[in-house]
Amino acid sequence: MIRLALKTSTWNPTETEWLRAANTISEAERDRISQFMYKRDAKQSMAGRLLMRNCFSQLSGAFPESFVLSRDTSGKPYLVNPPATLTALSFNVSHAGDYATFAGSNSAKVGVDVMKVELRRNTTVEQFFGHMKRQFTDFEWQRIRSPGSDRGKLFNFYRYWCLKESYVKAIGTGLKFGLLKIEFDIGRMEDDICRTTTVAIDGVIDSDWRFEEVYLDNHFITIAVQGEDSTREHVEDNVKVVKFDDLIVSKDMLDDEKYFFSFNEKKECP
């Protein structure tokens, strides 16, 4: 299984870098990215596209720009006419806070989510939790609120949120799946990693799923994995943090510089 993360908050692309990135993705993807108002959102979206194409290239040997992507009715990207080495590929991308993340596997169904552990502006922890009351079971809320400090409660909250998001993204339903049907029993984090969390669906533990939880730079990254991947893949591998230059192997440069200038004109997030 391939697990990648790119720290987008420290990526300040030069004109050359942005053009290289734009050349790696399709025109439809470039147009989609151009619609974002803020630089952060444009960078995160671009990073997600680059992470996906880097994985496709690693597994097939083809250039990252050679792949054609489309979206299904739920908005999830998929490969159009994939090569034989990628026909069974399950992949997912997520971005939030300072990171864009990716997970992909040829032998299991996967979903990934990332969240930064932070409190929204002008709100208390209890006010924040009040808005999310219906997203977790009574047992989960008990675990979320068990630490004595607000920081500990936020830590547990985002951990649970990433678990739920990664699961519904893996099964392809998104948040329309009843989140109260899913109940997690979190394992112990050791060296900022946990692989012992379990999930119950409608009260029945589903042992076909495992969850890789990583706490990285004040972010939770969680990968939900279903299937034989749990025995065939190298589960001791961790999320690999990559840099921009690790993702680009494009042959040529776009002649049209509008893609850099459209990025340069975007606003900084408030």
Res. 196 pLDDT band, cuts 50 70 90:
very high
Domain encompassing residue 170: 109-226
Cα–Cα distance, 157 to 40 (Å, whole number): 24
% of the chain residues with pLDDT over 70: 90
Sign of CA dihedral 196, 199, 204, 207: negative
Helices 15-24 and 39-60 meet at what angle, rounded to 10?
50
Average pLDDT for 217-232? 80
Residue 242 and residue 171 share a domain = no
Give the chain's mean pLDDT.
88
Q: How far apart are CA 221 and CA 270, in angstroms?
A: 25
Q: Let me know whether 76 and 130 are in one domain.
A: no
Query: What does the DSSP assignment read for 122-161?
Result: T--HHHHHHHTGGGS-HHHHHHHT-SSSHHHHHHHHHHHH
Question: What per-residue confidence (pLDDT) applies to 231?
Answer: 47
Q: 49 with 137, same domain? A: no
Determine contact, residues 124/131, Cβ cutoff 8 Å.
no
Q: What is the pTM of this model?
A: 0.89
Flag whether pLDDT at 165 surpasses 90.
yes
**Cα distance between residue 258 and residue 134, in whole Å:** 45
Q: Are strands 109-116 and 90-96 parallel, antiparallel or unpaired?
A: unpaired
Of residues 164 and 243, which shows the higher confidence score? 164
121, 214: one domain: yes
Q: Do 38 and 95 lie in a common domain?
A: yes
DSSP 80: S
Q: Are residues 82 and 157 part of one domain?
A: no
Give me the CATH number covering residue 170: 3.90.470.20
Q: Are residues 66 and 31 in the same domain?
A: yes
> Per-residue pLDDT tens for 225-258?
998 644 445 555 678 888 888 886 555 656 666 7
Question: Within this chain, do residues 5 and 99 fall inside the same structural domain, yes or no?
Answer: yes
CB atoms within 10 A of CB 143: 17
Are both 219 and 238 inside the same structural domain? no
Question: Same domain, yes or no, for 149 and 218?
Answer: yes
Q: How many structural domains does the chain have? A: 2
pLDDT at 120: 81
Lowest-confidence segment of 31-40, 73-82, 144-153, 241-250 by average pLDDT: 241-250
Residue 95 near residue 101, CB atoms below 8 Å: yes
User: Percent of the chain at pLDDT above 90?
Assistant: 57
Instruction: Answer yes or no: do 190 and 255 share one domain.
Output: no
Separation CA 45–CA 118 (nearest Å)? 21
| Mean pLDDT of the region 189-199 | 94
Q: Tell me the per-residue pLDDT of 74-108, one tens digit each, with 9 for 90 and over.
A: 778 889 999 999 999 999 999 999 999 999 998 89
Do 170 and 255 lie in one domain? The reply is no
